[in-house]
């Protein structure tokens, strides 16, 4: 018997889990399934900006050798300027680690920190990269509630109640996946105050910070926490439609002096994998200089804006289905009136929907949200196709 490690007991990634495997089987039998499970815009006809393509092609010869374990200096310089412009202070290029996507960096940042039994506060609902990384490192994710009735904002009193002597850090996902919430300054200040009071590290996953709609302001956590150790995650997968490039970074800011041992650990892990993909680092300066390509998707007439409008027009027509409007990213997290429809198991609901309507969604339990009433839809298909999918979901609910 070859068993997986016990550390994997709680690890799950339902975005590509059993429902996705079932979808692959159906597709191999010739059934066309609309896959609304992954936030992977290129698979819905979004294209990477020309700025990114030409930076990659013209720089290719510079990416042949291993580069610095933390990343190419010119790429880190561009990242530094980006965060300075966004108001983060006192940062040098050595405070930046480039990685093979935020996914790799979250694992590194958590592995370098967590001892067995350490607790880290993470949101529910939660993008499970974070909880999985904590489990794998031998730690325990402790879930603080984000409140649907309050626009999915974190509930600060719940957060404080969950802090124990074992708590090491708070994870903030802002803008949020799966809810699309963007937190106000007051909420962020409240979280920062708790971190300050209890001497906790702040991890702020801001990969969707360039994908905010409706003129809402995104506030980087680091700008409110210059006296605390704050680790900001960001990357180009979503904003520049290059998920497959695997291009992300983390920025260490604030109380770096107290963190020299942890930072050494981070460097050791970065060096252990030699460097991250140098090809994708080539595009970082050009991508960060090109804000327009992303912005035009988010304005009226832009694809993401219009797709969201189409989705919400359709949701409003469906009795028993409600959804807090997302302010950012490309996910919606609707709620089903489960009593009305007799639903008790969100995974079963998703499987039946897949079989009957050939639509793949991710049940809320795939985001550590256990009320069985939610599911996530990736709002990346063109408006008409998305509206049809949502209408089909409504039809499925009412006819089952």
Give the binding range for ligand PLP (CB under 6 A) out of 75-83, 96-104, 188-196, 263-271.
Answer: 96-104
361, 386 contact by CB (below 8 A): no
Q: How far apart are CA 148 and CA 367, in angstroms?
A: 14
Task: Out of 98, 110, 122, 129, point to the residue binding ligand PLP (CB under 6 A).
Answer: 129
Residue (133 or 387) nearer to ligand PLP, CB = 133
By Cβ distance, which residue is nearest to ligand PLP?
101
Who contacts 101 (Cβ-Cβ below 8 Å, separation ≥6)?
Answer: 235, 237, 246, 247, 248
Q: How far apart are CA 392 and CA 311, in angstroms?
A: 12
- Reduced to 3 states (helix: H, G, I; strand: E, B; else coil), residue 100 is coil
Binding to ligand PLP (CB under 6 A): which residues in 225-254? 235, 237, 243, 248
Q: Pick the closest to residue 366 from 8, 11, 44, 5 (CA basis).
A: 11
Q: Give me the phi and psi of 372, to 5 degrees please.
A: 70, 5
Total site size for ligand PLP, rule CB under 6 A: 14
Give the binding range for ligand PLP (CB under 6 A) out of 65-73, 79-87, 98-106, 345-353.
Answer: 98-106
User: Least distance from C-beta 175 to ligand PLP, angstroms?
Assistant: 8
Residue (366 or 397) nearer to ligand PLP, CB = 366
Binding to ligand PLP (CB under 6 A): which residues in 355-374? none
Q: Pick the closest to residue 238 from 297, 171, 302, 184 (CA basis).
A: 297
User: Least distance from C-beta 313 to ligand PLP, angstroms?
Assistant: 25
Residue (41 or 321) nearer to ligand PLP, CB = 41
Binding to ligand PLP (CB under 6 A): which residues in 171-230? 173, 177, 205, 207
Pairing of strands 375-378, 362-363: antiparallel
User: Least distance from C-beta 30 to ligand PLP, angstroms?
Assistant: 29
Torsion of CA 308, 313, 317, 320, to 10 degrees: 30
Could you list the residues that contact ligand PLP (CB under 6 A)?
39, 101-103, 127, 129, 173, 177, 205, 207, 235, 237, 243, 248
């Amino acid at each position: 018997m070859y068993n997986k490690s016990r550390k994997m007991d709680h690890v799950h990634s339902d975005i590509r889990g059993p429902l996705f495997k079932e979808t692959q089987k159906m597709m191999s039998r010739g059934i066309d399934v609309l896959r609304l499970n992954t936030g992977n815009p290129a698979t819905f006809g979004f294209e990477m900006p020309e700025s990114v393509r030409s930076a990659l092609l013209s720089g290719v010869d510079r990416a042949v050798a291993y580069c610095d374990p933390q990343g190419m200096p010119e790429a880190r310089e561009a990242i530094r300027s980006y965060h300075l412009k966004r108001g983060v202070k006192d940062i040098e290029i050595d405070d930046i680690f480039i990685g093979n996507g935020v996914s790799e960096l979250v694992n590194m940042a958590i592995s370098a920190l967590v001892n067995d039994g350490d607790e880290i506060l993470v949101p529910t609902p939660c993008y499970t990269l974070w909880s999985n990384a904590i489990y794998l490192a031998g730690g325990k994710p402790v879930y603080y509630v984000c409140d649907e009735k309050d626009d999915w904002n974190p509930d600060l009193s719940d957060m404080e109640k969950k802090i124990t002597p074992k708590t090491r850090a708070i994870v903030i996902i802002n803008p949020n996946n799966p809810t699309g919430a963007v937190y106000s300054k007051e909420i962020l200040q409240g979280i920062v105050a708790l971190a300050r009071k209890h001497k906790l590290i702040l991890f702020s996953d801001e990969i969707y910070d360039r994908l905010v709609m409706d003129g809402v302001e995104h506030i980087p956590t680091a700008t409110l926490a210059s006296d605390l150790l704050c680790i900001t995650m960001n990357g180009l997968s979503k904003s520049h439609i290059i998920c497959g490039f695997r291009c992300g970074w983390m920025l260490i800011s604030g109380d770096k002096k107290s963190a020299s041992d942890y930072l050494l650990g981070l460097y050791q892990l970065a060096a252990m994998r030699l460097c991250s993909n140098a090809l994708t680092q080539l595009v970082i300066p050009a991508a960060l200089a090109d804000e327009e390509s992303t912005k035009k998707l988010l304005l009226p007439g832009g694809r993401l804006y219009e797709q969201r409008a189409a989705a919400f027009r359709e949701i409003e027509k469906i009795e028993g289905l409600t959804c807090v409007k997302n302010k950012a990213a490309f996910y919606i997290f609707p709620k089903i009136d489960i009593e009305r429809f007799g639903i008790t198991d969100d995974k079963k609901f998703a499987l039946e929907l897949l079989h009957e309507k050939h639509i793949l969604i991710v049940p809320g339990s795939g985001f550590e949200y256990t009320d069985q009433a939610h599911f996530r839809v990736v709002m990346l298909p063109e408006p008409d196709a998305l509206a049809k999918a949502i209408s089909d979901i409504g039809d499925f609910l009412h006819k089952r």
